[in-house]
Chains A and B, each alone.
Chain A
């Protein structure tokens, strides 16, 4: 992975930069000891590591603004960091950058049930947002798998999704406003507890901009009343193609489940060995969850099982109660852990039109044979967001590179059938160099212009999202100014 050469000028000014940050932040908010900054050298994409120049852990918007003003004046790149759970390397530092961690900003600032929103500091974890309102019957809908650990700031940076976004949408559909600190320390309130923008929808482009436009310190989030109940049905099939066709039929029939999850044979076997969820021995498995009152749930499940039976399932298992529901979800929720037990793996995130599922699964099988690496598929089938897990052994020289080549081929396949490189994890550094597969030069240029407006000196979250050769002229020009 190519990264820009760290600026010798910044590295040589470390003591002065740290002193200036210490002057505007509490003593415990500036981490600069070379051993201590190693805690920030990577995120969940741990194959790539680089200790930052320093890390700062502010507690308020005002502290973030003060620190950014210093970094701006010193021309130091800043890498915003939520909880460090990015699978795409979204929070990977450069050696000449300051990590800005929002982990200490976790307060709930306001809750309004009549207006159905919550305002939080952006370092609060996804699950703790729901935790603040669930006692009163509400929840925050986007539910990435890492929701126990991941911060709202990171959810906003990556526009995170989750298993239940088929019904409730992803982060951008549930975000009403942010407090954004620009690189020069300007604090901007974008949106708020209302439903649309007075002029250009800046909130819409800030969400998913991977921390490159500003640092989000507070967020206004839509909260929803919890449904009366929810139950899943598990359906096993002889082949992935048949399961894919069943997904399409369910959607077409007018039932809108909250989640349709898919696992293929290798994944089912690994999960079964790991979690002993009692899954049937078959080649493809769907978990379809519906919500509502008891009678509504039964009605929807009957519609779904009726459709499923037309596809000759090997098993249809409706959850009778919460305990059976938990068992059905158990294997799916432990899928990544199960795969991690048996192998190193690389998790992809390409999204495809649902109608292309059978074709794409077949092609992935062929690629798997070509590369000699196994792949297990587990994903959000309802919205076509695939998560192929490529299994490899990091101790075998060359195998990680082979795995990355295989991954790139799968993502090219996703784009080729009308899909995209990433559905919910973000580009980060991981998919940076594939951006030109999806977008032409003019398409990328339009995105760079947005960055020019928000961060004219190109200091925020450097070397992510766009191929380095595409951003080189801008970074060179900005370097001259800094």
Chain B
């Protein structure tokens, strides 16, 4: 058993990777991936905020920085990470705490994805060490940057396949002053998605649209208080054809972000990206135990009977699916061959020894 790498600097990490002879398993806070065998690489020593300029909406921090620390810091200035980092520990039965590097590598995104974007959309620049132990920098810390190829997007969501992130520059946003949630009850899935599409297609700036087991359809408005009150009234009127509209007493969005309605239940857990107008028909074919629709139906979390072959049940559909918990042999839906060839080509270039495969 080789000892874990615990670099305290980027240079130490680069040296460790150059010296590595077998598979490496990168761990941020250990809340997601990283269950396969290999020499561990901990980014815990690569934390710390390097720059925070509230007036420029910019924050730069080491990849090992716990997300909780960043959120606490941003809160002191009334700002936030607008992509709402999901905390999937209860859902995936993990411990540890999310780190900046892990969140970017996963391209994490909560309910606000539907209007504001995912982690990739807030990532201004980054540094990483590739599979040959070379330190690479891309992007910067400014809001607009088209200087050269955008490796920031390529690395965001790469799940550590191309290298180990060491530093990330983020765009942050003001935290909304208030929030109001509208609730529709008892809608069948297809009707619920139609209601969410109507809301998201309105000018009232809906920042969350989810449909939960128990047939609760939830729509979130955020912003200045008077504005939210006005838009809530307008939106309720717009949604009247779908049934009675209630105003929620408490905020359900942290629970939706963390997919808590499916936590603590047995079964395989799948995450499906699709187009909303296809979502309910797709779900009907799955025979799932329970589903959560987020992003207005563009994201479906499905709890499947153990070992169920989601691909066979779903058939051809618009989008893609991935198994987060359960029988791994069910695997992701394979990529189109041309896409797969490009993806494999990039992996080979950045990680020729297959350390991160």
Alpha-carbon distance A451/B77, docked complex (angstroms):
41
B residues less than 8 Å from A300 (CB atoms): 224
Cβ contact within 8 Å between A205 and B150:
yes
Least CB distance, A307 to chain B, in whole angstroms = 12
Cβ contact within 8 Å between A112 and B227:
no
Picked from A138, A200, A442, the residue with its CB within 8 Å of the CB of B346 is: A200
B residues less than 8 Å from A351 (CB atoms): 142-145
Instruction: Give the residue name and chain of the A residue nearest to B271 (CB).
Output: A196
Cβ contact within 8 Å between B299 and A195:
yes
A residues less than 8 Å from B270 (CB atoms): none
Alpha-carbon distance A425/B144, docked complex (angstroms):
10
User: Which among A3-11, A184-192, A261-269, A310-318 touches the partner chain?
Assistant: A184-192
Alpha-carbon distance A445/B132, docked complex (angstroms):
13
Cβ contact within 8 Å between B295 and A195:
yes
Given A192-B318, A194-B298, also A252-B150 (CB < 8 A)? no
**B227-249 interface bits toward A, Cβ cutoff 8 Å, 1 = contact, 0 = none:** 10011001000000000000000
Given A251-B57, A296-B226, A354-B56, also A453-B346 (CB < 8 A)? yes
A residues less than 8 Å from B137 (CB atoms): 439-440, 443
B residues less than 8 Å from A161 (CB atoms): 144
Alpha-carbon distance A248/B77, docked complex (angstroms):
14
Whether B118 sits at the interface, judged by CB under 8 Å, is yes
**B133-173 interface bits toward A, Cβ cutoff 8 Å, 1 = contact, 0 = none:** 01111101111111111111110111001100000000001
Alpha-carbon distance A438/B295, docked complex (angstroms):
37
Least CB distance, A150 to chain B, in whole angstroms = 14
Picked from A112, A227, A295, the residue with its CB within 8 Å of the CB of B277 is: A112
**CB-contacts of A344-384 with B (<8 A):** 351-355, 380, 382-384
Given A113-B197, A248-B55, A299-B226, also A254-B78 (CB < 8 A)? yes
Given A201-B156, A299-B224, also A114-B201 (CB < 8 A)? yes
Whether A53 sits at the interface, judged by CB under 8 Å, is no
Instruction: Give the residue name and chain of the A residue nearest to B140 (CB).
Output: A420
B residues less than 8 Å from A426 (CB atoms): 146
Whether A321 sits at the interface, judged by CB under 8 Å, is no
Whether B320 sits at the interface, judged by CB under 8 Å, is yes
Q: Number of contact residues on B: which range applies? A: 35 or more
Cβ contact within 8 Å between B117 and A446:
no
Cβ contact within 8 Å between B154 and A200:
yes
Given A195-B295, A202-B339, also A447-B117 (CB < 8 A)? no
**CB-contacts of A225-256 with B (<8 A):** 225-228, 248-249, 251-256
Instruction: Give the residue name and chain of the A residue nearest to B177 (CB).
Output: A254
A residues less than 8 Å from B146 (CB atoms): 158-159, 208, 422-427
User: Which among B22-30, B302-310, B329-337 touches the partner chain?
Assistant: B329-337
Alpha-carbon distance A299/B177, docked complex (angstroms):
13
**CB-contacts of B88-120 with A (<8 A):** 107, 109, 113-114, 117-118, 120
Whether B342 sits at the interface, judged by CB under 8 Å, is yes
| Interchain pairs with CB closer than 8 A, number | 267
Alpha-carbon distance A400/B144, docked complex (angstroms):
27
Instruction: Give the residue name and chain of the B residue nearest to A303 (CB).
Output: B224
Whether B322 sits at the interface, judged by CB under 8 Å, is yes
Whether B325 sits at the interface, judged by CB under 8 Å, is no
Whether A280 sits at the interface, judged by CB under 8 Å, is no
Instruction: Give the residue name and chain of the B residue nearest to A188 (CB).
Output: B338
Least CB distance, B180 to chain A, in whole angstroms = 14
Cβ contact within 8 Å between B339 and A190:
yes
Alpha-carbon distance A196/B107, docked complex (angstroms):
9
Least CB distance, A297 to chain B, in whole angstroms = 9
Cβ contact within 8 Å between A384 and B56:
yes
Whether B345 sits at the interface, judged by CB under 8 Å, is yes
A residues less than 8 Å from B230 (CB atoms): 293, 295-296
A residues less than 8 Å from B56 (CB atoms): 248, 251, 353-355, 384
Picked from A173, A188, A207, the residue with its CB within 8 Å of the CB of B117 is: A173
Given A353-B58, A384-B143, A440-B137, also A201-B107 (CB < 8 A)? yes
Picked from A114, A200, A256, the residue with its CB within 8 Å of the CB of B158 is: A200
Cβ contact within 8 Å between B138 and A196:
no
18 of the cross-chain contacts (CB-CB < 8 Å) are A114-B277, A190-B339, A194-B273, A196-B107, A196-B157, A208-B149, A226-B203, A248-B56, A252-B55, A254-B175, A299-B226, A353-B53, A354-B55, A354-B57, A440-B137, A442-B136, A443-B137, A450-B346
Contacts A117-B275, A188-B339, A423-B145 aside, 4 further interface pairs with beta carbons under 8 A come to A195-B109, A200-B347, A296-B223, A355-B56
B interface residues with partner A (beta carbon < 8 Å): 53-58, 77-78, 107, 109, 113-114, 117-118, 120-121, 130, 134-138, 140-154, 156-158, 161-162, 173-175, 177, 193-194, 197, 200-203, 205, 223-224, 226-227, 230-231, 234, 273-277, 295, 298-299, 318-320, 322, 332-333, 335-336, 338-339, 342-343, 345-347, 349-350
A interface residues with partner B (beta carbon < 8 Å): 112-117, 137-138, 158-159, 161, 165-166, 169-170, 172-173, 182, 186-190, 192-205, 207-209, 225-228, 248-249, 251-256, 292-293, 295-296, 299-300, 351-355, 380, 382-385, 418-427, 431, 435, 438-440, 442-447, 449-454, 465-466
